[in-house]
Structure 1
Amino acid sequence: MKKFQIQIFIILFIILEKLILIPVIKYNITLANKNNPYIETLENLESPYFEMMKKTNRKILWSFGTSRSFPFYFLPVDKTSDVDKYLLPKEKFELKKWEFFTFSALGSNPAIYYTRFLQLLERGLLPEKIVLEVSPFSFNKNNLYNKTTQTEGIPLDLAMKNFLDFPLSYTSEIIYSRVFATARYKISIKKMKNIWDKKNTEIDLDYFFKIALQKKEKTNKLYSDLDYEDINLENKKPPTEDIRFTKMVDLIDEYFYKNWKLDESQIYFLEKIIERSKQRNIPVILWRPKVYEEGKNSYKKFKVENVFQEEMKRISKKFSIPYMDFNESNLSKCNYFRDASHLSPRCYTELGYQLTKLSQ
């Protein structure tokens, strides 16, 4: 029997590699999650988006971000801008000179931004301005999605074509995870134990996915209160029974801020976008979305604020680009929220103007 130990091990390993790809096994014994938004779909860019980009006679702005940048898929549009109560007529006129194209994904990070950015450059597309959303959870090495984006969100061919642009450890992990399924879908004893104990192991992100799966199509229409599904929190608190503000903070803490540790790889990718943009004389702006007051407690609880702010200000100074924190400034008068972590889409007309008017 000893004579065939190596052969037996190889056979068992190959069997495990095949078994682990079966969904019912993958989702029950590995860290893979059914709600994973990154399954190498990034290479399948929507062609209608490109056609819009080629046909518009307005200045083009590229927005890269998380679910907090989703409203830029729909806004700003002229009919809604015309009645926006936060902008002056002159400001509305200036905003109409721009067309927004956003490349945002649930729980995204600069590694995914850079992937999208490279794909756009490969197609010979260039904007007049780039705005990069910088939310602290995107830079947490221990958050829910950062490891997943590395092993599942970046197409292998893109990583190989841009080998020198990726950290060696990052590229190695991408290649290794594509060769071996067990590297891509790591076995989790804890998850198996939870299933054995009949505990729910799926992450309750239904609300996020409702937003993520909305039809991403910009229509020039007048948006109504029903479209926004938001709450005006100007000088008041949301209803105590509203789970969008009670449960949301706990969920964000658990999956995105817990054990917060600065991910140097994400800083690297953020700087690469800025470097490549400056080489092409494209202005870049870093912006941090406003969150509800209760949501800011996460920054203090997990000691995020000082480290994150220092890093963003360092990058801003290094590249001489603006860094706009909409939590600190009085730039945004709109105080409607969709939940504790997401500003209402009705605020994105005003926010869009603030981003277009800034220059380097």
Structure 2
Amino acid sequence: MKGKPYLLYPLFLLIFLFFVDSFFRIPYIQFLTKLDLTAVNYSAKKALLDSLIEKGNLKKDKKLMIILGSSRLLYFDAKDLKEFYPDWEIYNLSSAVTTPAYYDYQLTRLLDSGVVPDLILMETDPNQFNHNSVFKISNLTYSFDLFYVLKNMDLFGKDNVSFFLGRKLFAVGTYKPYIDQMWKNYRNPELAGFLSMNQTTFDFIVKNNGHGLSPIDNYVEKDANVLELTSHRTLDWLFASYHPSEMQYGFYEKILSRLQSEKIKSIIIWPTSSPNFEKLVHKEKLVKTWEERIDLLSSKYDQKIMKLKDEPSYSCNAFADGGHVAKECYHSLMRAVLMEYFRRYEAHRL
């Protein structure tokens, strides 16, 4: 190296880049890069999952239910569940924009740690199998840990693993260092409110077994035109450039295989949305193709998907928007799920 100091320049540059990048690992700085409350759901669910594992097997005198879903299974009321179903301890690991890979990650961590639920309630939906809608553009990417990703390289594929490693090594890959936007956010008079809401949401989720804090809570949309508009908008967002993800089918089958081999009771549901959205979605050829494939794959592991659109014990006539039911429908949803549980696993108690 003597006489050739320029050979050290790349090393100095790399050290400098890591130093600058470490600045964007500070939570407050990350928040300034984008005033978005979505990510707090993932961090809160990770904290809840860590807490569950730390406590160990919680069953004792109660049955343990774990919910794995998207925003459509997110807003159960923890207090209501305790009052209506005192025999159950119900933890909700759902988050917005989820996939079978995310479910498998959560389930793997639980089961590998010795926490064995009495019931897994898992959502399935055609958009969760869309190659173009998740992983690289989702906060989900940063929820997985390195060991899990490397262990499942065959399912993730080299491209996704490389992308994940890049985002994990460099925080600026996630939290863009746009100084002008950061300064604008810093000067935002609502910043203190955003920070407070972020902490309030985190605390609420962890305290209430993962059941979400809804920004609209008991709001019900009564305007049919608005429901139609938001249904079209949701459909366009969900199914734009739809391409089936073999990766997600692989993780779905991995979940079913483990549930079967370890004899863990489970119910897989396909939720409903507003009638406006349901009419639109069932006109999509890709949805029919997905339904046929997912039914066939599920039956391979003795699973039958509970489709709420065909479930007589479920009823809902209140909607937050085209793609989401109102909170009051969660009562009917859980009642239908537990009726199905007794039909399948404890028929003698009916």
One fold, TM greater than 0.5? yes
RMSD between aligned residues: 4.4
Query: Where does 1:204-219 land on structure 2 (aligned, <5 Å)?
Result: 215-216=204-205, 217-218=207-208
- Structure 2: gaps (5+ residues): 1-5, 185-197, 210-215, 346-350
Match of 1:113 among 103, 121, 125: 103
1:44 paired with 2:47, answer yes
Secondary structure (helix, strand or coil) at the match of 2:310 reads coil
- Structure 1: gaps (5+ residues): 82-94, 196-208, 220-226, 232-236
> Which residue of structure 2 aligns with residue 200 of structure 1?
none
> Which residue of structure 2 aligns with residue 229 of structure 1?
218
> Which residue of structure 1 aligns with residue 75 of structure 2?
71
CA distance change for structure 1 residues 78 and 185 in 2, over 3 Å: closer, same or farther?
Answer: closer
1:357 positional shift: 2.3
CA contact 1:67–1:212 (8 Å) conserved in 2 = no
Secondary structure (helix, strand or coil) at the match of 1:101 reads strand
Counterpart residue identity of residue 156, structure 2: P
- Deviating more after overlay: 151-160 vs 140-149: 140-149
For 1:229 and 1:106, the matched residues in 2 are separated by: 18
CA distance change for structure 1 residues 42 and 15 in 2, over 3 Å: closer, same or farther?
Answer: same
CA distance change for structure 1 residues 61 and 24 in 2, over 3 Å: closer, same or farther?
Answer: closer
CA contact 2:62–2:87 (8 Å) conserved in 1 = yes
1:274 positional shift: 1.4
> Which residue of structure 2 aligns with residue 319 of structure 1?
301
- For normalisation by structure 2, the TM-score amounts to 0.69
CA distance change for structure 1 residues 173 and 301 in 2, over 3 Å: closer, same or farther?
Answer: farther
CA distance change for structure 1 residues 327 and 105 in 2, over 3 Å: closer, same or farther?
Answer: same
1:257 positional shift: 2.5
CA contact 1:62–1:102 (8 Å) conserved in 2 = yes
For 2:79 and 2:224, the matched residues in 1 are separated by: 30
CA distance change for structure 1 residues 329 and 77 in 2, over 3 Å: closer, same or farther?
Answer: closer
> Which residue of structure 2 aligns with residue 174 of structure 1?
164
For 2:230 and 2:261, the matched residues in 1 are separated by: 40
> Which residue of structure 2 aligns with residue 350 of structure 1?
335
1:62 paired with 2:47, answer no
1:126 positional shift: 0.2
Higher relative contact order (CA 8 A, sep 6+): 1
- For normalisation by structure 1, the TM-score amounts to 0.67
CA contact 1:230–1:338 (8 Å) conserved in 2 = yes
1:11 positional shift: 4.3
Which of the pair is proportionally richer in helix? 2
Deviations 1:182-229 (A, max 9, x none): 6556899xxx9xx9xxxxxxxxxxxxx9x976823559xxxxxxx962
CA distance change for structure 1 residues 177 and 145 in 2, over 3 Å: closer, same or farther?
Answer: closer
1:134 paired with 2:124, answer yes
> Which residue of structure 2 aligns with residue 238 of structure 1?
222
Counterpart residue identity of residue 155, structure 1: D
Indicate the percent of aligned positions where both proteins have the same amino acid: 17
